[in-house]
Amino acid sequence: MFASKSLEPETLQIAPKPATRFRQPHNCPVVMCPAIVRYEQELERHRETESRLGEKVLRESELLRHKDDLILQKDILSKESEHRLLNGLQLINSVLTMQSRNATNPETAAQLTLAANRVLTLARVHRHLHAMDTLESVDFKQSLERLCRDLSDMVSSDSSERTLFVEGEHLTISRVTATPLAFIASELITNSLKYARGSIAVSLLILPKGQAALTVCDDGPGLPEAFDPAATKGLGMKIISALVRQIHGELDFARGDHDHGTRFSVRFNPQA
């Protein structure tokens, strides 16, 4: 007989299996683990790309900061230059005005006064455009309206005899073109104010093929029969011709209706 043996329950403890981290063993041939190799290579390429992009972003940020500094310096120098230019023009105007008052010859006094007015007009044109420093282009019709008001107040001693008005379309032109074109308009309008006694029309028209035209018409005595802008001895017409060439424009002139009055027209490229 077998000896009796008490049966007691036993508790079995099962240890959890440790998590297995799948990685390429050192002794695993490369040909046996192509997916792992490709993954690691792709990951390395991503890291290199991220590093290069980070360096590029830093360089771009530095260049942008440097660009902002240069723009700020340019704006400061531009404003300082404009300020000095305006002061210089006002000084020249004052000197010419004093000389005209001290001149004993009436013709000399008149020429000095005319020169002083030209300088003053140029200063006003620069001041008006300087007020739009943030713009690369300007509404030239608006500039013409302001210029006409200034010229009418400065030149016309009896405004009741003249009617000066601006008509046409609003035209945006570059500031590079606006300055010489405004001075051309000033010379033409000043000449009309001297000789005309009725209406003086300043018009701005948009033409085909990207062209535009500035026209000044008056009802004065008109031009001489053999008038030639290239051969004239007048300083005003020489200034106009030189500025028209500067903006690569074309100057046309004609008598008004019924051979009465004068019409000057300047064709130009508003975006030049």
pTM of the model: 0.65
Identify whether residues 68 and 121 lie together within a single domain.
yes
Per the structure, how many domains does the chain have?
2
> Residue 174 domain-assigned?
yes
Q: Is residue 143 part of a domain?
A: yes
Picking from 195, 184, 144, the residue whose alpha carbon sits closest to that of residue 265 is 184
Residue 235 has pLDDT above 60, yes or no: yes
Domain containing residue 165: CATH number: 3.30.565.10
Question: Which helix H or strand E contains 267, and what residues bound it?
Answer: strand 262-268
Residue 13 lies in a domain: no
Whether residue 25 is contained in a domain is answered as: no
Name the residue among 140, 123, 116 with its Cα closest to residue 247. Answer: 140
Rg of the Cα atoms in the chain: 40
Residue 167 has pLDDT above 90, yes or no: yes
Same domain, 139 and 266: yes
**Are residues 142 and 127 both part of a single domain?**
no
Counted residue by residue, the chain has a size of: 272
Residue 2 has pLDDT above 50, yes or no: no
265 and 169 belong to one structural domain: yes
Domain presence at residue 26: no
Q: What DSSP string runs through 161-202?
A: G-EEEEEE---EEEHHHHHHHHHHHHHHHHHHHHH--SEEEE
Query: Does residue 270 share a domain with residue 186?
Result: yes
Least confident of 40-44, 135-139, 254-258, 259-263: 254-258
pLDDT confidence bin for 243, thresholds 50/70/90: very high
Domain identity same for 128 and 196? no
Regarding whether 265 and 236 lie in a shared domain, the answer is yes
Both 258 and 158 in a single domain?
A: yes
What is the C-alpha to C-alpha distance for residues 258 and 263, in angstroms, rounded to an integer? 12
**Same domain for 128 and 145?**
no
Same-domain status, 117 and 188? no
In-domain check, residue 22: no
Residues 96 and 66 reside in one and the same domain: yes
Domain of residue 252 covers 135-272
pLDDT tens digits, one per residue of 64-109: 888 888 887 877 777 777 778 778 888 888 899 899 999 889 889 9
Tell me if 40 is assigned to some domain. Answer: yes
Measured on CA atoms in the order 109, 221, 223, 148, is the torsion positive or negative? positive
- 216, 265: one domain: yes
Domain-terminating residue out of 114, 134, 154: 134
Which of residues 109, 134, 159 is at a domain's end? Answer: 134
The per-residue pLDDT for 209 is: 87
Which of 134, 166, 192 is the last residue before a domain boundary?
Answer: 134
